[in-house]
Amino acid sequence: MKVINVVGARPNFMKIAPIVREMDKYECLEHILLHTEQHYDDAMSKVFFEDLALPQPDIYLGVGSGSHAVQTAKVMVEFEKVLNERKPDLVVVVGDVNSTLACSLVAAKLGVKIAHVEAGLRSFDRSMPEEINRIVTDALSDLLFTTELSANQNLEREGIQKGKIHFVGNVMIDTLLYCINKAQISSIMNTLNLAVGDFALLTLHRPSNVDVKENFEEIISALEIIQQQIKIVFPLHPRTRARLSEFGMAEQFARMTNFVVTEPLGYLDFLNLESNCKFVLTDSGGLQEETTVLGIPCLTLRENTERPVTITEGTNTLVGIDPEKIIEESMKILSGEGKSGRIPTFWDGKAAERIVEIIHQR
């Protein structure tokens, strides 16, 4: 059986790595790793592949950045050539980036079976491009692997046959548990002169937060207050850095004396910070899941989440971009009233085992 595993952006690496390792155990599975290069930074990609013990991709599509339409179209054109040449039995896509949608469309039209890892997640906000990608990919997929039971319910409501849906757990957590001990060897805490529990960790990159000046200003006004009480470490996403300059906010940012800004970090360095911080402020999806397993309070700077189990069972709290709410919840954590949770079902480091066993059976 020939399988093409698709990645397109850094979050995909963490999701595909345990699947690739598990497929290595099956002699009957010939698996190919394809990187569309939707997001590609040579230095950072190299670090991520090393951190995750992930082999270098067999195929690079060289797509690069562009508008949603341009990027999706480029992936489709190049991926069609690969499918016609390699003739796989199955395409495995993960997450919700444009490459996930584009490769699913091509595979479906060429009659190649599709497996979607992290299926069924819904924010119910179609202004998010990722939501469109999720819905269309799930509609086209033959095997739908879910991380939480709410995803099963979403898929069944959308008319997906129950026999296609498999609740297997979370491959992001497979990677976290695989790497957590190795991450503790990282020297990033010493490099940044940090102590355990004495800092908050911030990530901010979502277009709705950083591309809209008014929204960005709301968030920064809250951060100005919070950093007076606790140091904030901020690995700065290239998109966010560009907007700070474009909106003339760089000086305001620089005046926050308890702010530690770094370049984007490799997975192990970031995981070290995440597991040793007091709490996380983020607009990322994956961090909501990781903090739940690590037992670290998480404040999500969004009005909705496609990962509701991180709220109902985990350590996640939605705070939106209201400065008062962000500050209020941060102060609760600093006063010892942070949210505690429990680890959801099947978030046990064995999701990839379940996924590959089902693929093998089929």
- 18 with 132, same domain: the answer is yes
Residues 14-31 have pLDDT tens digits of: 999 999 999 999 999 999
Residue 339 within any structural domain of the chain: no
Residues 119, 94 share a domain: yes
Question: Do 163 and 17 share a structural domain?
Answer: yes
Same domain, 65 and 203: no
Residue 306 within a domain: yes
On whether residue 269 sits in a domain, the answer given is yes
pLDDT, tens digit, for every residue of 162-198?
Answer: 999 999 999 999 999 999 999 999 999 999 999 999 9
Do 224 and 138 share a structural domain?
A: no
Residue 238, pLDDT score: 84
The reply to whether 34 falls in a domain is yes
Do 149 and 250 lie in one domain? The reply is no
Look up residue 255 and give its two tokens. Answer: 């005046």
So what's the pLDDT on residue 362? 85
Report the percentage of the chain scoring pLDDT > 70.
99
For the question of residue 39 being annotated catalytic, the response is no
- For position 74, what pLDDT does the model report? 97
Task: For residues 260 and 127, state if they share a domain.
Answer: no
Say which CATH number the domain at 145 has: 3.40.50.2000
What percent of the chain has pLDDT above 90? 88
Which helix (H) or strand (E) is 32 found in, with range?
Answer: strand 30-35
Q: Per-residue confidence at 254, pLDDT binned at 50, 70, 90?
A: confident
Considering the domain boundaries, does residue 8 fall inside one? yes
Average confidence (pLDDT) over 49-62: 92
List pLDDT tens digits, range 65-94. Answer: 889 999 999 999 999 999 999 999 999 999
- Tell whether 323 and 231 lie within a shared domain: yes
Residue 175 in any domain: the answer is no
The pTM score is: 0.95
- Determine, yes or no, domain membership for 342: no
Least confident residue range of 66-75, 172-181, 252-261, 294-303: 252-261
* Contact assessment for residue 82 and residue 57, using Cβ atoms and an 8 Å cutoff: no
**Residue 190 class from Cβ within 10 Å (0-12 exposed, 13-18 middle, 19+ buried)?**
exposed
- Condensed to tens digits (0 to 9), the pLDDT of residues 307-318 reads 999 999 999 999
* Host domain of residue 79: 2-169+347-361
Residues 86, 222 within the same domain = no
Residues 233, 120: one domain?
no
pLDDT at 48 over 90: no
- The tally of domains found in the chain comes to 2
User: What gap in Å lies between CA 233 and CA 217, rounded to an integer?
Assistant: 18
List C-alpha distances in Å: 229 to 145, 169, 201, 214, 329.
Answer: 42, 37, 13, 24, 13
**156 and 23 within one domain:** yes
176 lies in some domain: no
pLDDT of residue 42: 67
Catalytic choice (39, 166, 205, 237): 205
Do 317 and 223 lie in one domain? The reply is yes
